[in-house]
A and B are shown apart, each in its own frame.
Chain A
Amino acid sequence: MAEPDLTHVDEVVERLGRSEDALIPLLQAIQARYRYLPEQALRRLCEIADITPAAVESVSTFYTQFRLRPAGRHTVRVCHGTACHVKGAPLVTDALCKHLGIEGDEDTDSEGVFTVERVACLGCCSLAPVMQIDDVTFGHLTTESITRSLDDFLELQKRRAKQRRRRPGTPREAEIRITLDSCCVARGTRDVKQAIDKALADLGIDAKVKPVSCVNMCHETPLVEIVTPDDGSHLYAQVRPDDVRAILGRHLHPGGVLAKARRTASTALEHLLTDDAWEPVTRYGLDMSTQRASSFWDPQVLLVTERAGRSDPLDLREYLETGGFEALRKCREDMSAEQVLGEIERSGLRGRGGAGFPTAEKWREVAEADSDVKYVVCNGDEGDPGAFMDRMILESYPYSVIEGIAAAAQTIGAGEAILYIRQEYPLAIPRVREAISHCEQEGLLGDLKMRVMEGAGAFVCGEETALLESIMGRRGNPRLRPPYPSRSGLWGRPTLVNNVETFALVPWILRNGADEFAKLGTEHSKGTKVFALAGKVNRNALIEVPMGITLRRVVHEVGGGIGEGKRFKAVQVGGPSGGCVPESLADTPVDYEALVHVGAMMGSGGLVVLDEDDCMVEIARYFLEFTQDQSCGKCTFCRVGTRLMLRMLERLCGGEGADGDLRELERLGHSIRDNSLCGLGKTAPNPVLSTLEHFRDEYEAHIRGRCPAKQCTALITYGINDNCIGCTRCAQDCPADAIVARPHEKHEIDTEECIRCGACRDVCPADAVEVE
C-alpha cells in the first residue's frame, strides 16, 4: 500500500487543536480525508498532538464510525433497527452482500466501490427496511429492489455532478411546499422536487418552492402542498415525479407570453392537462377533512411539532415571526431565573429521553451548583432502533431546540452549550449548524457559545455520563452515578444534560405558560410525547400525542390499525430499554409510571407495533442482540451477562431450549437489571423480562420445539399443498434452489436445502406454500 500523504493530519490538528478533548473530531476529520484511519496517520497524530497512542487506539476502536481498514468509495449503511428487522432487513443484507460478492468478514466489494455496514438504526423506521448510501436514503427495500437502488445511486451521483445552481427568482405569490427530511427524501421527494423545479422552469411558472418541516405523515410522502393566494391549500400525497406537471398545471398559471409559448411547445406532445382529463391525481389527493386523516390528526396535539408542514426549518425570519425566541426574550428580560424554574416546575415537564426525571429539578441542581463554569448539553444521540423523533425535531425544528437550550443556559448560568448529535444523521447536523450560525449572526444567542459535536456511532453514548466522556474525547464508558452531571459533569463542572425533545418543549411552555402545558396529560406525566410509530401498523408516522392517551388509540386511530387483516398482538414501547405491552394491556395510558408498571418504559419514544406473525422470543432475542452489541464492555453484568442472555435466547429460538432455561433467564435478567453500572445494562433485560411475563407460553412452546408465530427458522418447515398450480414461480425465486418444480405438476420443497426465507410464499399466486 502506498504511504498516505500525512500533511492532512498536520492540517486537521492545526484546525481542531492538539488536546485530547478534540480526539473524536480529529479522527472524524482524518477519516473524512482517507475514508479510513490509516495507522501512519494515527501515529502521526500521536506525534504532533497531546494525545497518547493508548487513547487513540482505544477511542478509534470504540466507536463504530471509525474504520481501520480501507473503505469503498461509497458507504452503504443497512439499517437493522426494529422496524427494519421485522420487515426483513437480514434478508436484504444477505441479498446485498451476495450481489456485491462480499463474503465472510469482508465488508467491501472487490472493486472498492461499496462498503456495506450494518447500523443500529437510521431513524427512518416508516420506510423499513432502509439503507443509506452516503447521504442518500433508500426505503422499502426488497431483495429484488436492492440492486436497482445501487444503480439509482450511481446514476444520481452522475446527475449531481452536472446539476446547476438555481437562479434567484423574482417575487412569487404562490408557494409549493415539499418536505425534504431524510425519510421523505428516501421516499423520492428529491426527485419530485427536481421535477417541480424543471416543470416550473419549463412552464414559466413563478412560484416559490419551499422545503418545509416534517409533516409527520411518513406513510403518505412524498407530499406536495400547493398554496396559492386565491385558491387556498391543496395537499397531494404519494406524488411521483411524473405527476408533478399535472399537479402544477392544475393550480398554477404560467406567466408571460414567452413562457406561455414555451409551455405550449413543451407540452405539445403531451396530453392536455385539465382537472377532468387527469383523473389519477385525485387518487392521491389527501383531504384533511376525511375520516381517515382526521382519525390520524384528531388525537394528536402538536407542541414540539406545532409548525409541522408549514415552516421552512432554516428560515429564521419565519421562526421569529411565529413567536420564535419569544421564550428566550422572556427569560432574559421579563423573568428571573427563579421564575423560569418555577414555570418549568409547574408545567410538570419531565425528561423526554426516557427516564422521566423532573426537568425543573435537574435545572435547579445545576443552577444552585457553586461554579463559575457550567455547561448545557443537548443529548441528540438518539440511537434506539425504532426511534427517530429527535432526528425529525433536529431536522425540522432546529430553532426550537436552540431556543430551549439558550433558555436553559440563561436560567442556570451556563456559558457554553454543546449539542451532541449522532453522526448517522447527516442532514440534522448541517441543519443545526446552519441554524446556530443564523442565530449567531442575528445576535440571538448573546454571549452563549453553542456548538455541535458529532457522535461517532455508539448507542451507549445516549447514557449521559458516557455522552460526557465522549464529548471529552474518550471512550463512551459510563461511570457510576452519583455524582450526577448536575454536580460533576464536563471537565468536573456542573452540567445540565437534557434530551432534544425536552429542550424543544421549553419555548412552547414559556411562551404559552406552564398551565397550558400542564392541562395536557396525566397526574404525573404532563404535556405531549412524540413517538415514532412503526411496525405492522397501517400508518407509519411521527406522531405527537398528549400524555395519557391509550396505546390502543395510538395503534387503532392514529396508526390506522394493523395492516393486512392481521391480529394486533403487542406494542414494543421504548426500544431496547423498554418492553412489549400485550394487546390485553393496550389500554395502558402513555404515562411514565403506567408504562413501567406493565414492564415497559417510555424510553425515547419508539412504538413498534407487532402482529400475530411476530415471534416474541425472536423479538426479545433481537433486542438483546442489539444491546449486547452496544454494551461498552466496562462492567461485568452488562458485558458478560447480556451476552449470556443472548446465547440463551438463541438456544431457545434454535430449538435447543431446555426446562429450567426460563428460570435461569429470569434470574440472570434480574441480576443484570439490579447490578449493572449504567442505564443501558439496567434496562437491557426489559425486553426479555416483559415478554417472559406476558408471553411465557410462547417461550414454553419454543422449549417444546414449536414457534407459534412460525418465525424461528429452526422450528419451522415449509411445504407445498394441493393448491399448487405448477407455475414454477417459487422455484425461480428460491435463493437456495430448494424447490423441485416440474411445470404444471405440484412442486416440492427440499427441507434439507430450504433456508426458510419465505420467498416462495411471497411469490406464490395460489396460496400453496404452507409453514408448519
Chain B
Amino acid sequence: MPSIQIDNHQVEFKPGQTVLEVARGLGVNIPTLCHLPGKPARTSCMVCLVKVVGQEGLMPSCGTVCEDRMRVFTNTPEVLEARGNALELLLSDHLGDCDAPCTVACPAGLDIPQMLRYIGQGKLREAIEVIKTDIPLPAVLGRICSAPCEKACRRAAADEAVSIMQLKGYAAEADLTGGHRPYTPKPAADTGRSVAVVGAGPAGLSAAWHLRRAGHACTIFERRDQPGGMLRYALGEDRLPRRILHAEADCVRDMEVEFRFGVEVGKAVSLEELLGSFDAVFVGVGRLSEGSRPFGLDVRDGKVSVARDSLLTSRARVFAGGDVVRARRMTVRSVADGKAAAASIGLMLAGDNTDAPRRQWSCHMGRLGEQEMETFLNHANRVARIPGAAQPGELRDSLARSEARRCLRCDCRKKSSCKLRLHSAEYEASPRRFHGDRRTYTRIDGAGVVYEPTKCIKCGVCVRVAAEHKEPLGLTFVGRGFDVRVQVPFGEPLSKGLKTAARQCAAACPTGALAMRDEAS
C-alpha cells in the first residue's frame, strides 16, 4: 500500500484520499470551514493549509490528493501562522457579534439574549436553566445588580435598554415562588476531590455552586452564623428582602454544599489544616480591614494579590475572589469570580496547567448604522421599555414577555457551533488586525432560516448542499471577487430557494450566516 508521512508519522492511504482525510484518520487536528466530508474539495477558505515538502508555498489539505512518499507537516510555525492569517482575513470581512454586547459586559457572562428569548416565549423553566448556568443568585442580583449589561445593550441606541436585570429577577423569583422545588442543576459525577470555601458571601456561594456542578465536594466555612456576607449585613430589607437571600442560599445548600457556620478560618482552623484535608481552598472573605493579611497571603493595596485569569493567590492551591481581591464592590463581579475560580480549580484538579480563559473569544460589529438598527428593530418588539413604576418583583407575565421581546437578538444563533469562532479562538486570531470595508448588516428571513450575508465567508457549502438536495432553485454565487455573494437565483425569496434543504443548509453552514431562526444556542 502506498503511504505518506504526516508530521513524521508514516501512514498508508487509499488511492484518491486527500491529505486531510488521512490526517484526520490519524487524529491530527486540521481546521476546516469549506470542507464537506466525502465531497469534492472547494479549496475556498484556505484554513486547512499544510506544508507539502517539495511544493512551493502551502497547500490546502482538503484538496491535496495523497501521492506515494509525500511528506506533509501540519503544525510548523509557517503553517500555523498562515492558518491564522486566513482566519484573520475572513474575520476582517465578517460582520456580526458572537456574544451580544450585554453578555460581553456581564462579568458572569450570562447568555442574556437566550434568557430573554425564553422569557419572551413564556418558557420560564428554560430561562432559569440558562440563568443558573452562570449565576447562582439571580433573584438577589435581579434586585441589586449594577446591571452593566443594560449599559451595553444595543437597544439603548434606539430608545432604552431592555430591562435585563428586572427580567432576570422576574424569572428567578417566579422559580422560587412557583410552588415547586426551585431549579438546581444536576451535579456532574463525583470527582472524589474536595474544596474548602472560606466565606459564604456572593463569591463563596457562587464558587461552591460551580464546584458542586463540576462534581467536586465542597464545604463552606463562614465565621458568622448566616450565609450572605455583605448582602446580609450591608443591605437593608427594602433593597434585598431576606426571604430571597435565604431562598437562593438554600438552593446552594440543595446542591449538597456543606455549610459550617461560626467557624473562622485562621482561628478555629488554619489554612494549613484546610490544605491538609482539602484539595484546594477558595478565599472569599469580603473586603479586608486596613492592614490585614489574611492567612499570610500576599496583599497589595489592601487586596489579596491574584493572577488575573486563574485567581490563584501567592500560595499554591489557594484561590481568591470577590471583594477580597477587588477595589470596587460589585456583587455580580463577585459571583463571576466564584465561577471563574471554580473553573480554574477544576483545571488544576484535572492536572491542566493552563489558565481558564475568563472571556470566550468573540467578534463584535460595533456601532450600528441607522439602517442596520432598523433591520434589527424590524425583528423585535418596537414598544418602549416598561415604565419605571414597575417595581422589582412586580412584573406581570404579559408585561415581562413583551419587555423580553424588545431584545434585538444581536447575539449569533450559531455562537456555540460556529466553526469560524472555534478556530479563531484556537488560533488566537484577532478580528481587529485588518481594517477592511465595513459592510452594512442585512438579514433575510425565509424557509425557517435567517440569512445574515455579512457573516458569510463565501465557502459555498450551502450552495452545494442545496444542489445535492435537488432544490429546483437553490442557492448560487452572484458576482465575483470581493463582492461575490450567495443568494437565491433571480432574486427569489429564501422560501422558494430552500423548499426542502433549509435545515441541512443551515446545519452545514460553518458560520452564523445561515441558521435556523429559532436555533437554540
Contact = CB atoms under 8 A, between A and B. Distances in A.
Given A53-B473, A53-B489, A636 B86 contact: yes
A480 B482 contact: no
A674 B85 CA distance: 11
A630 B480 CA distance: 8
A483 B43 CA distance: 14
Interface in B126-174: none
B58 A628 contact: no
Contact of A647 (B43, B90, B435, B472): B435
Contacts of B474: 52-54
B463 A637 contact: no
A675 interface: yes
Interface string B450-472: 00000001100001001100001
B219 interface: no
Given A633-B480, A633-B484, A54 B473 contact: yes
16 contacts: A42-B490, A58-B476, A480-B59, A483-B65, A633-B458, A633-B479, A634-B458, A635-B43, A635-B45, A635-B46, A636-B44, A636-B457, A640-B89, A673-B57, A675-B57, A675-B86
Contacts of A682: 57
Contact of B434 (A53, A56, A630, A644): A644
Contacts of B63: 479-480
B57 A640 contact: no
Contacts of A633: 458, 477, 479-484
Contact of B481 (A53, A630, A647): A630
A609 interface: no
A639 B457 CA distance: 10
B480 A480 contact: no
Interface residues of A, number: 42
Q: Interface residues of A: mostly helix, strand, loop or mixed?
A: helix
Interface in A479-517: 479-480, 482-483
Contact of A56 (B47, B59, B475, B489): B489
A31 B85 CA distance: 41
Nearest to B45: A636
A644 B473 contact: no
Interface in B394-449: 434-437
A365 to B, nearest CB: 15
Given A56-B489, A633-B481, 9 more contacts: A480-B41, A631-B480, A632-B480, A633-B483, A637-B46, A640-B482, A643-B437, A675-B86, A677-B43
A445 interface: no
B332 interface: no
Contacts of B337: none
A705 B42 CA distance: 44
A57 interface: yes
B85 A61 contact: no
B307 interface: no
Contacts of A42: 490
B489 A54 contact: yes
A629 interface: yes
A326 B222 CA distance: 104
Contacts of A480: 41, 43, 59-60, 63-64
Contacts of A53: 472-474, 476, 489-490
B12 to A, nearest CB: 20
B463 A54 contact: yes
Nearest to B474: A54
- Among B65, B466, B472, B480: residue with most chain A CB under 10 A: B480
In the complex, the 4 A-B pairs of residues with the closest C-beta atoms, listed nearest first = A633-B484, A54-B476, A53-B489, A57-B489
Given A674-B82, A675-B82, A677-B60, A58 B490 contact: no
Nearest to A57: B489
A54 B475 contact: yes
B16 to A, nearest CB: 11
A319 interface: no
A458 interface: yes
A550 interface: no
B336 interface: no
Contacts of B457: 636
A43 interface: yes
Interface in A62-76: 62
B85 A671 contact: yes
A628 B481 contact: yes
A39 interface: yes
Interface string A650-685: 000000000000000000100101110100001000
Chain B: interface size category: 35 or more
Nearest to A641: B89
Contacts of A35: none
B99 interface: no
A635 B473 CA distance: 25
A219 interface: no
A671 B482 contact: no
Interface in B32-76: 41-47, 49, 56-60, 63-65
Q: Interface residues of B: mostly helix, strand, loop or mixed?
A: loop
A640 B64 CA distance: 23
B89 A644 contact: yes
Interface string A417-458: 000000000000000000000000000000000000000001
B473 to A, nearest CB: 5
A647 B64 contact: no
Given A628-B482, A675-B57, A640 B90 contact: yes
Given A58-B477, A633-B484, A644 B436 contact: yes
B481 A639 contact: yes
Contacts of B90: 636, 640
A771 to B, nearest CB: 30
A636 B476 contact: no
Contacts of A643: 436-437, 482
A43 B57 contact: no
Contacts of A644: 89, 92, 434-436
A628 B473 CA distance: 30
A425 B92 CA distance: 38
A673 B480 CA distance: 20
A640 B47 CA distance: 14
B91 to A, nearest CB: 9
A647 B59 CA distance: 27
A621 interface: no
Contact of A629 (B46, B472, B481): B481
A266 B305 CA distance: 109
B111 interface: no
Interface in B221-254: none
B21 interface: no
A629 B483 CA distance: 9
A629 B481 CA distance: 6
B323 interface: no
Interface string A462-490: 00000000000001000110110000000
Interface string A37-63: 001001100000000111111100110
Contacts of A675: 46, 49, 57-58, 82, 85-86
B386 interface: no
A637 to B, nearest CB: 6
B46 A57 contact: no
A442 to B, nearest CB: 42
B26 interface: no
B67 to A, nearest CB: 8
Contacts of B44: 634-636
B199 to A, nearest CB: 48
- Among A39, A475, A644, A674: residue with most chain B CB under 10 A: A644
Contacts of A39: 490
A70 to B, nearest CB: 17
B481 A482 contact: no
B2 to A, nearest CB: 16
A676 B101 CA distance: 35
- Among A52, A628, A636, A644: residue with most chain B CB under 10 A: A636
Contacts of B473: 53-54
Interface string B301-344: 00000000000000000000000000000000000000000000
